[in-house]
Amino acid sequence: MTNQISYADSGVSIDRANAAKERIKILASRTFNARTLTEIGSLGGMFDAAFPGMSQPTLVASADGVGTKLKIAFLTNTHHTVGRDLVNHCVNDILVQGARPLFFLDYIAAGRLDPDTIAFIVEGVANGCRENNCVLLGGETAEMPGFYTDGEYDIAGFIVGVVDRPKVIDGSRVKAGDIVLGLPSSGLHTNGYSLARKLLFDVAGFNHDTHLDELGTTVGAALLAQHKSYLPALQDLLEHEHLHALAHITGGGLLENIPRVLPETLSVEINRASWEMPALFKLLERTGNVSETEMLRTFNCGIGMVVICAPEAHDEMLHHLARHGEAAHTIGCVVEGTGDVRLM
């Protein structure tokens, strides 16, 4: 008689998945608010879509991941930070259009669902959601044996926010003479990790637990530094008449992301001497003899968000940001041009 074969024999455990989901329910419920209409476990999450204070409520959605930063999480067995990275990245992506977050969905896939690891990941997601006043409305956990190496996983996030259409920030108000401010990053955020890992581990020969005095911490800890959310510092400025554009400095760095918000007839001149590149970026540049252009189109180089404002609002913007803990740098200005970034 043929032996009975179960789903578990193929490497997928419904029991492990159920255990993980029970812990996810508890974590997600801590992010719920009065607009949340369903519990975790429904096939679709429901959210109240009434916006009586807006004339033309417009939904803004985005999806992203944290890339090969996950490799550092695997090396260091640190899983409670990447979820917050994911949320903050997505929040910043919709923030640049003037949107405030409403709800978030996550996707986690692994070769084997370890309930403890999943709980750590979702704890980070839930913490990021609470900090950004965002509901963790639902998501998916998938066990995919043979597809992912044991101990490894992938995560992705999907965010929906809202902005009143007349108040959308789209760069159309940018003018020659506008001032460009740079808000400091807290590290690599979630971009450039493939090159950073090659330089630090393959070229320099460091391990994740190598302590470097110039960094003041281990290589692994420096690479895991949290991706900042700029919502707390910028949310009260989103409707300011003199805030003309925002650019989240992610993949492509300053050189590729600023042009996204520029009219085709304008350019931005960046004074490279206007801020000091943090120690981690200097180390990467030195280790690989990386050119300035390559650094600025691969990494954020210490600037995680760019604010373009009218010159008459320059001092007001700096003072506001300082009150919210952001020591912004004046890094350049807008000039007549062709939609590119020029280094001075």
Of the chain, the percentage scoring pLDDT greater than 90 comes to 84
Tokens of 195: 């090159």
- Can you give the pLDDT at residue 176? 98
Nearest to 280 by CA among 270, 265, 290: 290
CB 208 within 8 A of CB 75: yes
- Can you give the pLDDT at residue 171? 95
Nearest to 181 by CA among 330, 334, 344, 333: 330
Mean pLDDT across the chain: 93
Do domains 11-167 and 179-343 share one topology? The answer is no
**Which homologous superfamily is 179-343 in?**
PurM-like C-terminal domain (3.90.650.10)
- Can you give the pLDDT at residue 28? 82
Per-residue pLDDT tens for 54-87? 999 999 999 999 999 999 999 999 999 999 999 9
Nearest to 87 by CA among 49, 53, 128: 128
Can you name the residues that pair with 247 across neighbouring β-strands? 306
Tokens of 50: 């009434």
pTM for the full predicted model:
0.93
- What is the band of 42 on the pLDDT scale with cuts at 50, 70, 90? confident
**Which homologous superfamily is 11-167 in?**
PurM-like, N-terminal domain (3.30.1330.10)
Domain boundaries defined on the chain: 11-167, 179-343
- Can you give the pLDDT at residue 263? 96
Average pLDDT over residues 211-221: 98
Torsion of CA 81, 83, 84, 86, to 10 degrees: 130
